[in-house]
Amino acid sequence: MKRKRRRSAQSSPASLSLIQTPALLALILQLLSFLLVLLLSILLGMFNLLIPVLLAAVLQGGIAAGLSRTVGQARWWWFIQFFFPVVLVLMLGLHLPPTLFLGAFLILLLLYWSTYRTQVPFYPSRLTVWQEVERLLPEASFRFVDIGSGLGGLPLYLKKQRGDGDYRGVEIAPLPWSISRLRAFLAKSAVRFERSDYQKLNFADYDVIFAYLSPAAMPALWQKARAEMMPGALLLSYEFTIPDQPADIVITAEGDKASLYGWRM
């Protein structure tokens, strides 16, 4: 087990505007690409030239990927932008029943919910991470919250190991939240799971806050933590660091590619 401790420094990240939300920006660029390809098709049609549907999809994806690169979106968005219209055309060619697409959409909606806004997809953590978090818990009674608690595994595990703590999980997506509530009920656990946005919490109410979010969410998380957490409280983040803010605690378990980071307030 490797452990490192470093001093902290301050940063002041700026929040993203709505238009800078990657998913919404990608949608805008995709629509713009569609209009450009449609205009090209109309112009070619004046000369009795037709663009095959699959070729049109490839052109649209290529334009969207180029625009994503131009505006500075992350590299994975280039691939998403390119393959989205191509895959859509290929799927339509299979003539699958519409209810199948509707069902898949509803499941993904319940699972990811407002990911387009929060930029925090469903990231389940693992037992090795839970064990490291357990070792960092205060010796006396304490208040713990897992923001973005998913299926509730971490708080339920910690409650079994350290029953002297008050545990809470906060999850915004309906499906994971429902599963966590069911798990707590079946286990007769005192862990409370609430369906809410962690931004609505008062971080001053907690001694330990655990987050497994995404790189895009970390600057805003740090800003809120610095403004609200009490002196001596501990902010933990698995895998994702805070830009320009060295962690006080870095723990990398054997066999784990990612680390657990901690900041003392």
Mean pLDDT of the residues in the chain: 83
- Mean pLDDT throughout 102-106? 59
pLDDT at 24: 76
Based on the domain organization, do 47 and 110 belong to the same domain?
yes
> Tokens 């002297």, residue?
164
pLDDT band at 173 (very low <50, low <70, confident <90, very high): confident
State the pTM of this model.
Answer: 0.63
Same domain, 48 and 135: no
Give 188-205 pLDDT, tens digit per residue: 999 999 999 899 999 999
Chosen domain end from 103, 118, 133: 118
- The structural domain count of the chain equals 2
Residues 98 and 53 reside in one and the same domain: yes
Of the two residues 217 and 82, the one the predictor is more confident about is 82
| pLDDT at res. 82 | 93
In a domain, 27, yes or no: yes
Q: Are residues 131 and 260 in the same domain?
A: yes
Condensed to tens digits (0 to 9), the pLDDT of residues 50-63 reads: 899 999 999 999 99
Q: Give the model's confidence band at 251: pLDDT under 50 very low, under 70 low, under 90 confident, else very high.
A: very high
pLDDT at residue 219, as a whole number = 92
220 and 109 share one domain: no
Residue 13 within any structural domain of the chain: no
228 pLDDT higher than 80: yes
Is the pLDDT reported for residue 131 higher than 90?
Answer: yes
pLDDT, position 14: 39
- For residue 138, give the CATH number of its domain: 3.40.50.150
Residue 90: count of CB within 10 angstroms of its CB: 12
Query: Do 142 and 259 lie in a common domain?
Result: yes
Last residue of a domain, one of 68, 86, 118: 118
Residue 17 lies in a domain: no
Query: Do 78 and 180 belong together in one domain?
Result: no
Last residue in a domain, options 118, 140, 173: 118
**Helix (H/G/I), strand (E/B), else coil: 249:** strand
For 25-58, write each residue's pLDDT tens digit: 888 899 999 999 999 999 998 888 889 999 999 9
Q: Is 8 among the domain residues?
A: no
Predicted pLDDT at 170: 94
Please check the confidence at residue 118 and state whether its pLDDT lies above 60. Answer: no
**Domain membership flag for residue 238:** yes
Q: Is 239 left (phi over 0), alpha (psi -120 to 50) or beta?
A: left
In sequence order, which residues have a C-beta less than 8 Å from that of residue 41 and are 6 or more positions away? Answer: 50, 51, 56
Q: What's the whole-number mean pLDDT along residues 130-147? A: 94
Tokens representing 218? Answer: 């970390």
Same domain flag for 163 and 255: yes
Residue 81 and residue 49 share a domain: yes
Residue 3 counted as domain residue: no
Whole-number Å distance between alpha carbons of 105 and 241: 32
Same structural domain, 172 and 246: yes
pLDDT higher than 50, residue 136: yes
Instruction: Determine the structural domain holding residue 200 and report its residue range.
Output: 121-264
Residue 10 domain-assigned (yes or no): no
Q: Has residue 7 been placed in a domain? A: no
Same domain, 257 and 130: yes
Asked if pLDDT for residue 148 goes beyond 90, the answer is no
- One domain for residues 110 and 182: no
